[in-house]
Amino acid sequence: MTLAAVDAQPAPIAIDPARTALVVIDMQRDFLEPGGFGETLGNDISLLAAAVEPCRALIAGFRRHGMLVIHTREGHRPDLSDAPRAKVERGEPRLRIGAQGPMGRILVRGEAGHDIIPALYPIDGEPVIDKPGKGAFHATDLHQILLNDDVEYLVVCGVTTEVCVHTTVREANDRGYRCIVPGDCCASYFPEFHEVGLRMISAQGGIFGWVTDSTRILAALG
């Protein structure tokens, strides 16, 4: 077993590339593209776009090394049977889950806006996890996929930092995974939430995991 030492906060971490997976959270068209649901809500989508190129470089690096890359998409069944009322009834009726948005029905599986942006699209063999919640472990088979592949270390990136990325890292931490978060591969519509979200992960000796960037991870992998 050859370990790779990743420079990170609160301290460097040695990972086994053969037992490491990259989880790319919710890089979906409705959140990142002009005219999508995220922009319709009044958000500055350029803040999320900043994470695309670092994510693309990191995904390419994992692929070169034959390492597991997993993608997630937040969304619901067309009949919304898996969407809790508390979630569906939040916000203005015309902008709720299931309503008609610029790229089809909002957060509904199979709609154009639900899909992953072309720049980061999965290749054959890469699992895509369709999740009904914020965290990638809730009501999905992600944990089983990772167990089957003997994964111990997770590199978690995507959007948004303080919501779906953070929830997934917390879920993973409770399940015993060692999580590394490359901050440049994450983004939020609220820069202050992004900054504090990253600080929360590495605080108190790495209470939820380690924080670094894509350049350091790629350097460690060689």
Give the residue numbers annotated as catalytic, written as ranges.
Answer: 26, 131, 164
CA distance 16 to 1: 7
CA distance 122 to 125: 8
Report DSSP state, residue 99. S
Helix H or strand E segment including 5? strand 4-6
Copy the structure tokens of residue 83: 């969407």
CA distance 42 to 121: 26
Which residue from 168, 212, 214, 167 is spatially nearest to 8, judged by alpha carbons? 212
CA distance 44 to 63: 31
Copy the structure tokens of residue 192: 């202050």
CA distance 205 to 193: 20
Which residue from 63, 174, 47, 74 is spatially nearest to 123, judged by alpha carbons? 63
